A and B are shown apart, each in its own frame.
Chain A
């Protein structure tokens, strides 16, 4: 925040560098998360009894989450770099949806393995940190 105040006081760059770094890391981590969760769903369907009416919602929500995440990161990054609060606000709203989906995969999935718990916990932590930084950035852009 010291750096941010300095920049704000200097007021030549309002875009938040930590937020941009976090977006980048989030993108990489989410790719890994998506592939790992998909692989684990395949593993669960082979090892455990995973009937179709339980497998379909899990897979659908995973793909919806991937699309949501891509859009969220795109708008967040665009909003941050163009210093506009509208895309950033939209991205913040979509973060809420991503959080709910992540909680689903943490708690309400058919089979929650320990690896699922770890992955989703890290993702939720990332979302939390992102949300905080987005709020600060929006506050900086608005004022």
Chain B
């Protein structure tokens, strides 16, 4: 009864004051009753009897007005069942500075934006159509026109990271997503050198039908005007041996031969040549093809893409300008009569082989025999101290002199460079940016024995790289200051026949930070430069 009376009263009151009585901020669920929301119109009396409190007790307008309507919601918990009480009252602001009347309709509320019609559409577009709104609609016109004109000329120019477009879609570089399975949807970005490895499931029966293991799939789509040419094909046999094929313009598709499926793509390496205008002028792909047998369920494919600017040699920088930890130290030679180190001339040749032109140290192998492991070298990476070694078995038959030479070759490598770049991006033309490697020789002799033979065999090579932090305090760049190669030798003792000796040979690289503590520099105080003009005392001087 009382609820119905209340409802009737509420309806009358609501019709008089629309805004405050209809506003309900806790009514979040549409057509459903929100818990403890006393102003929710979707709640029935039965719902109200289950509430414990009212989350929104009062809804008012702006309290700065002298007199305003307020809707009060409360729960009468003493009644059985509890009921909601709704009251519409007049709230009075007692202050003498309360707002009695307003003649400016936008004062206390947000204005709703204009509805676009055919008359005001152009004006609204000019005002709100650009990236930032301006109060004066006409002022942005000039900038928009300029932008459009410059865009039209640069439609064919690639920017860093932009996906490389092909005739149908984008150049794909399959890569692992989430798991290690290959996903073909990874587009290659312009100037983004990437190398990915992923797993592909294969089977011998379906190998000729699978697109992803066939060469055609990777060179089929041409990059707009440029066809992808096949640069080289390396065939890898089942035991891992790789052979470079001579004629590389023949397309080799997967086929079944003697229960094996051959010509399966195991690796693709794209080389894209671009101009400095941002256009791609050449694209080449090198393949590694392999074979799978019946038991193989999956293969690992590796993909690589690298970008070279036209008319330059691809010399990978080790930092820009300071060395980046983990990148190889760049080194080179200065041939006789040539004023500059010619690392550039060697780089193109040595990049494709085993980085012999760079600074390398001996790599420890599992066999630990120095004379067997002649070829294994690892490049010296900036910031990584390394130590490696092997064991040398000296027999009676060995002679000192040849052994010395062999050990020197072993420790230093085939072509030990003479200069090291002080910055990661040092150019070969800048002589002053290259640091010569100084050599030192330490003899391990402790007790001088007059009868000792004068032949010394090198037993250890220690390369000490001293570097410093260079540049600004907030972004210091690593710069190599000096490189010293210290060879320690020991005395050679001729062994009686039948006896053997094993000596350890070690080589190590140590990076030492010799940067002096940074001193912040401040700009000089500005001086007041007040001088009288030269003709100030004109008639008298």
Using A48-B107, A49-B107 as known contacts, say yes or no to A114 and B102 having CB atoms under 8 A apart.
Answer: no
At the interface with chain B, which of A62-70, A82-90, A102-110? A102-110
Q: Is chain A's binding surface mostly helix, strand, loop or mixed?
A: helix
Find chain A residues with CB under 8 A from B103 CB.
108-112
Query: Does A7 make an interface contact (CB < 8 A)?
Result: no
Query: Does B387 make an interface contact (CB < 8 A)?
Result: no
What's the nearest-Cβ distance from chain A to residue B281, in Å? 59
A139 to B101, CA, bound (A): 40
Query: Does B10 make an interface contact (CB < 8 A)?
Result: no
A40 to B96, CA, bound (A): 11
A117: nearest chain-B partner, CB-CB = B100
Contact in complex: A114, B107 (CB < 8 Å): no
Query: Does B437 make an interface contact (CB < 8 A)?
Result: no
Contact in complex: B96, A110 (CB < 8 Å): no
A18 to B103, CA, bound (A): 38
Query: Does A130 make an interface contact (CB < 8 A)?
Result: no
Contact in complex: B107, A116 (CB < 8 Å): no
Query: Does B99 make an interface contact (CB < 8 A)?
Result: yes
A115 to B106, CA, bound (A): 22
Contact in complex: A54, B104 (CB < 8 Å): yes
Query: Does A43 make an interface contact (CB < 8 A)?
Result: yes
What's the nearest-Cβ distance from chain A to residue B235, in Å? 78
What count of chain B residues pass the 8 Å CB interface test? 13
Query: Does B97 make an interface contact (CB < 8 A)?
Result: yes
Find chain B residues with CB under 8 A from A117 CB.
100
Query: Does A118 make an interface contact (CB < 8 A)?
Result: yes
Contact in complex: B106, A49 (CB < 8 Å): yes
Query: Does B66 make an interface contact (CB < 8 A)?
Result: yes
A49: nearest chain-B partner, CB-CB = B107
The one of A48, A108, A114 in contact with B100, judged by C-beta atoms closer than 8 angstroms, is A114
Contact in complex: A111, B99 (CB < 8 Å): yes
For A48-61 the 0/1 string (1 means CB < 8 A from B) is 11010010000000
Interface members, chain A 90-143 (any B CB < 8 Å): 107-118
For B77-116 the 0/1 string (1 means CB < 8 A from A) is 0000000000000000001111111111011000000000
A111 to B99, CA, bound (A): 7
The one of B96, B101, B102, B107 in contact with A115, judged by C-beta atoms closer than 8 angstroms, is B96
Contact in complex: B102, A112 (CB < 8 Å): yes
A119 to B196, CA, bound (A): 82
A139 to B95, CA, bound (A): 45
A111 to B103, CA, bound (A): 6
A40 to B100, CA, bound (A): 14
A117 to B67, CA, bound (A): 14
Specify which of A51, A54, A109, A114 lies most central, judged by the most chain B CB atoms within 10 Å of its CB. A114
The one of A107, A108, A111 in contact with B107, judged by C-beta atoms closer than 8 angstroms, is A111
What's the nearest-Cβ distance from chain B to residue A87, in Å? 36
Find chain B residues with CB under 8 A from A109 CB.
103
Find chain A residues with CB under 8 A from B107 CB.
48-49, 110-111
A51: nearest chain-B partner, CB-CB = B104
Contact in complex: A111, B98 (CB < 8 Å): no
Find chain A residues with CB under 8 A from B95 CB.
114
Interface members, chain B 32-55 (any A CB < 8 Å): none
A37 to B107, CA, bound (A): 20
B94: nearest chain-A partner, CB-CB = A114
Find chain B residues with CB under 8 A from A49 CB.
104, 106-107
Contact in complex: B106, A114 (CB < 8 Å): no
Specify which of B96, B98, B100 lies most central, judged by the most chain A CB atoms within 10 Å of its CB. B100
The one of B99, B104, B106 in contact with A113, judged by C-beta atoms closer than 8 angstroms, is B99
What's the nearest-Cβ distance from chain A to residue B445, in Å? 90
Find chain B residues with CB under 8 A from A54 CB.
104
A111 to B107, CA, bound (A): 9
Interface members, chain B 122-139 (any A CB < 8 Å): none
Specify which of A110, A113, A115, A118 lies most central, judged by the most chain B CB atoms within 10 Å of its CB. A113
Contact in complex: A111, B102 (CB < 8 Å): yes
A43 to B95, CA, bound (A): 14
A113: nearest chain-B partner, CB-CB = B97
Contact in complex: B96, A114 (CB < 8 Å): yes
Contact in complex: A43, B102 (CB < 8 Å): no
Find chain A residues with CB under 8 A from B101 CB.
107, 111-112
Find chain B residues with CB under 8 A from A43 CB.
97
What's the nearest-Cβ distance from chain A to residue B442, in Å? 81
B66: nearest chain-A partner, CB-CB = A114
A38 to B212, CA, bound (A): 82
* A-B residue pairs, 4 tightest by C-beta: A112-B101, A112-B100, A115-B96, A110-B104
Q: Which residues of B are at the interface with A, using a C-beta cutoff of 8 A?
A: 66, 95-104, 106-107
- Identify 8 residue pairs between A and B in the complex whose beta-carbon atoms are under 8 Å apart, listed by A's number: A49-B104, A51-B104, A110-B102, A110-B103, A110-B107, A112-B102, A114-B100, A117-B100
Question: Apart from A54-B104, A114-B98, what 14 extra A-B contacts exist at CB < 8 Å?
Answer: A48-B107, A49-B106, A107-B101, A110-B103, A110-B107, A111-B103, A111-B107, A112-B99, A112-B102, A113-B97, A114-B95, A114-B97, A114-B100, A118-B96
